[in-house]
Amino acid sequence: MEKDKAPVLRDLPEELRSERVLLRPYRAGDGKALLEAIDDSRERLQPWRPYEHSPVPPTEDETEAYVCSERESWNKREYLSLSIWERETGQYLGGVGLYGIRWEVPSFQIGYWLRASAEGKGYMTEAARLLCDYAFQRLEARRVEIRCDTRNVRSAGIPRRLGFVYEETLHSASRTPQGDPIGDFVFAMTKAAWTVNVPL
Ligand SMILES: CC(C)(COP(=O)(O)OP(=O)(O)OC[C@H]1O[C@@H](n2cnc3c(N)ncnc32)[C@H](O)[C@@H]1OP(=O)(O)O)[C@@H](O)C(=O)NCCC(=O)NCCS
């Protein structure tokens, strides 16, 4: 059984495709595309900096170091960070990934961000749906969670559109960059409740 394998021996995809997006692990050389997307989005990403996986490094060397470290974590199966590309144009759109992994369940948390110019087109809902398909079909996930800052209305829209169940609010779970306590919403999906969209 795949679920009994040591995490580092698990077979992972080199890419996943849906109608408009392609997801793949980061590669050396992706730092430039990442930097351009961050430059497009710097102001909008600022309020969400407390999220440890929101990339905010300011130079191309740092974004290149970031993509290499994301790839290293992928290789070790510590967490699975994927870059998102628009299939039609090849443009880098942002990132999505499986974090907080508990292989023994297995359960995962999905985290994500989009470049500002790609917002409002449903790309992240499509990418997160594809990743859920992958987690439930190939990683034998029992549970996938999405957590977001209670102020982040756009982020909460994604689990809602995908049919996740709102479970609870974790009060004072983190702090704003100014130091004020803020809560997190917890949304969850189980294998039993998930309807597969793309058979993988
Ligand atoms: C969170 C974030 C990824 C959400 O982006 P988004 O564009 O709202 O999400 P989607 O790509 O799924 O697009 C959904 C929007 O596109 C619209 N849309 C257009 N075509 C669509 C389609 N084919 N399918 C679904 N939605 C579509 C939806 O109506 C929705 O717009 P609305 O909220 O005005 O109703 C983005 O705001 C972001 O990166 N924020 C900064 C980082 C961040 O907060 N990360 C999350 C931390 S928890």
What does the DSSP assignment read for 143-166?
EEEEEEETT-HHHHHHHHHTTPEE
**Side-chain half-sphere exposure of 133, counting CA atoms within 13 A:** 16
User: How far, in Å, are 10, 39, 71, 135 from residue 176 at the CA level?
Assistant: 37, 22, 28, 31
Please report the pLDDT score of residue 47 as a whole number: 56
The tokens for 194 are 């998930």
User: Residue 147 is which amino acid?
Assistant: R
| Cα(124) to centroid(ligand 1), Å | 6
Give the mutation target among 20, 119, 132 for probing the ligand 1 site: most ligand atoms within 8 A of CB: 119
Query: What DSSP string runs through 24-59?
Result: EE--TTTHHHHHHHHHHHHHHHGGGTTSTTS----S
How many angstroms separate the CA atoms of 1 and 148, rounded? 33
Query: What domains lie within the chain, and their CATH numbers?
Result: 14-145 (3.40.630.30)
| Distance, CA of 188 to CA of 186 (rounded, Å) | 7
Q: Which residues contact 111 (CB under 8 A, 6 or more apart)?
A: 51, 53, 96, 97, 99
Question: Which of 18, 44, 125, 187 has most ligand 1 atoms within 8 Å of its beta carbon, as the pocket-test mutant?
Answer: 125
CA of 139 to the centre of ligand 1 (A): 25
Ordered per-residue pLDDT tens for the chain, 200 residues: 566 778 888 888 889 999 999 999 999 999 999 999 988 887 777 655 433 445 455 688 888 999 999 999 999 999 999 999 999 999 999 999 999 999 999 999 999 999 999 999 999 999 999 999 999 999 999 999 999 999 999 999 999 999 999 999 999 998 887 789 999 999 999 999 999 888 88
In single-letter form, the type of residue at position 94 comes to: G
